[in-house]
Amino acid sequence: MSTYHHCASVLERELGVVPDDATRAAFQRLMTRARAGPPAGTPAAGTAPAGTAPARGQAADRPGQPGAPLIGRIAELRALRATWQAAVAGRRGVVLVEGSAGVGKTRLVTEVAELARQQGALVVSTQCFAAPGRLALAPVADWLRDPVVQAAAATLDPAWRAEVARLVPARGVAGHDPGPWIIADAWQRHRFFEGLARALIAVGRPLLLVLDNVQWCDQETLDFITFCLGLASDGTSLLVAGTVRDEHRRGDPDLAAWAVRMRAAGLLTELSLSPLDAAAAARLAQAISGRPLAAADMATLHATTGGFPLYVIEAVRGNAGGPGGPGASGDSGGPLPPGGVSDVLRKRLAQASPAAQEVAGLAAAVGTNFSLDLLTEASDLAADVVVTAVDELWRNRILREFGTGYDFSHDLLREAAYAEVTPARRWLLHRRIAQGLELLHAGDADPVAAQLAGQYARAGGQA
């Protein structure tokens, strides 16, 4: 199932096509082995109701068009592309895309990341997370785990490889234990950072390091970014592209001080995103639904969503009576859901099956980059039910494939799913997740030690 999700997403994102009928049929045969099948009269996933056909570039088993064009961001996209091209030419630095949650920061950076890949650059992405359980320098460790970076690190002198191994131990390689990365002396910290930076610079081609949610980044990672950019020689093609919520940034003196230092050094480019205007929001809604939006509904859409792209997308996808949906009048579409933006996200989650809602709550308690193994181990649902629920959440674009597992398609959906879990249930979920981590990593718990401690802490227990 995970392989199908990954391949279908690549086809959808890069080619605008869906898996062919034979592939979808094969996937359905595999899925029916783990479930009794849909209720009588309900079309199976991957099929459309009789008399209908999927829109061009739209997966029959995934409603909505994820590849909608980036709307209303021409100036910002041009500026971000110019910053990347300057980095390719040797002007290394950091670019921070700032704005409120849901305004489209990650979407904008993703657009430039795709351009960088097409140009032959190495793009390595990671994200910071608000909940406890992540070690300092965890984003740097994620960058270093990329196979291309690991191959480059293997070409370094043994002394530098030993420094990298303090943070990302090389599995299956015998030799001297370099010891933990936590070092008190300044000269040791300098050498440690230099080893990590040399591993990244050694890739030998333009490098784009993406860091989502910088507002939750640890100080050590920020210090390393400063060090790495300082170590890189003139002409090194290196850019760190980060997203940051402006409401958090203003209240974080450490992050503000770091930005001041980077700005003074001439290494920082800042882009600010605002919500879309009514016309752009309507164009986005039409691109997602594939149907026109009546003029009367444009103002309602903008008032409901505030022009935030995430809420426009979720409102259209979650509104059964919306544009082109059941109950729509002609081509105009029905009224959008009332209430605040949180209601839009809650409605999207409420449309899932009870099992899918339960798995979404469990996944939100895990945090980010959760595996099917961990979900099935921590859930009291049968493994086939969990797998089917994850498939449902993926088809409804609530979950996306990420790394070796899954993640929510947006942080706000994770927050909405977690908010639906009662405090008593949260305590139970965190304990089950911790116990699941212990079972899955019984032979070597070091890689998940911080996550394990965080789960026990949130459960109120002792790690």
End position of a domain, from candidates 272, 307, 324: 272
The secondary structure of residue 335, as a DSSP letter, is P
> 43 or 120, which is more confident?
120
In a domain, 334, yes or no: no
Instruction: State whether 144 and 253 are in the same domain.
Output: yes
Counted residue by residue, the chain has a size of 463
How many C-beta atoms surround the C-beta of residue 413 within 10 A?
Answer: 23
- Tell me the pLDDT tens digit for each residue of 374-425: 999 999 999 999 999 999 999 888 998 887 789 998 888 898 999 999 999 9
pLDDT for the residue 397 = 87
Provide the pLDDT for residue 319. Answer: 64
Phi, psi of 432 (to 5 degrees): -65, -35
Same domain, residue pair 124 and 197: yes
28 and 133 inside one domain: no
Number of structural domains found in the chain:
3
Are 212 and 143 members of one domain? yes
Residue type, 192: F
Cβ atoms of 232 and 92 within 8 Å: the answer is yes
Whether 297 maps to a domain, the answer reads: no
Both 5 and 92 in a single domain?
no
Are residue 103 and residue 165 in the same domain, yes or no? yes
pLDDT for position 51: 35
φ, ψ for residue 256, nearest 5 deg: -65, -40
Last residue of some domain: 253, 272, 291?
Answer: 272
- Best-predicted range by mean pLDDT among 237-241, 303-307, 399-403, 424-428? 237-241
Please tell me the distance from the alpha carbon of residue 8 to that of residue 6, in angstroms, as a whole number.
Answer: 6
Confidence at residue 10, expressed as pLDDT on a 0 to 100 scale: 85
Distance CA 91, CA 83 (A): 9
CA 124-126-130 angle, to 5 degrees, is: 170
Range of weakest confidence among 94-103, 250-259, 287-296, 318-327: 318-327
Question: Does residue 209 sit in the same domain as residue 115?
Answer: yes
Instruction: Looking at the structure, tell me whether residues 450 and 394 fall in a common domain.
Output: yes
The whole-number pLDDT of residue 443 equals 79
Q: Same domain, yes or no, for 203 and 114? A: yes
Residues 193-224 pLDDT 10s: 999 999 999 999 999 999 999 998 999 999 99
Q: pLDDT confidence of 178, banded at 50, 70, 90?
A: low
Domain assignment present for 435: yes
323-336 per-position pLDDT tens digit: 333 333 333 334 44
Is residue 385 one of the residues assigned to a domain? yes
* In the chain, % of residues over pLDDT 70: 81
Whether 299 shows a pLDDT value over 90: the answer reads: no
Backbone angles phi, psi at 208, to 5 degrees: -115, 115
Q: Give the DSSP per-residue string, 213-241.
A: -GGG--HHHHHHHHHHHHHSPTT--EEEE
pLDDT of residue 336: 46
Comparing CA positions, the residue from 211, 222, 129 lying closest to residue 455 is: 129
pLDDT confidence tier of residue 173, bands split at 50, 70 and 90? very low
Do residue 140 and residue 191 come from a single domain?
yes
Last residue of some domain: 272, 301, 318? Answer: 272
Same domain, 135 and 31: no
Residue at 347 is within a domain? no
User: Is residue 292 a part of any domain in this protein?
Assistant: no
Enter the tokens of residue 311: 């809420």
* Residue 12 located in a structural domain: yes
The DSSP secondary-structure symbol of 102 reads: T
Is there a domain that residue 294 lies in?
Answer: no
- Note the pLDDT of residue 234: 75
CATH number at residue 210: 3.40.50.300
Give the structural domain span for 132.
74-272
| Cα-based torsion angle of the residue sequence 347, 350, 356, 357 in order, rounded to the nearest 10 degrees | 100
Does residue 260 share a domain with residue 383?
Answer: no
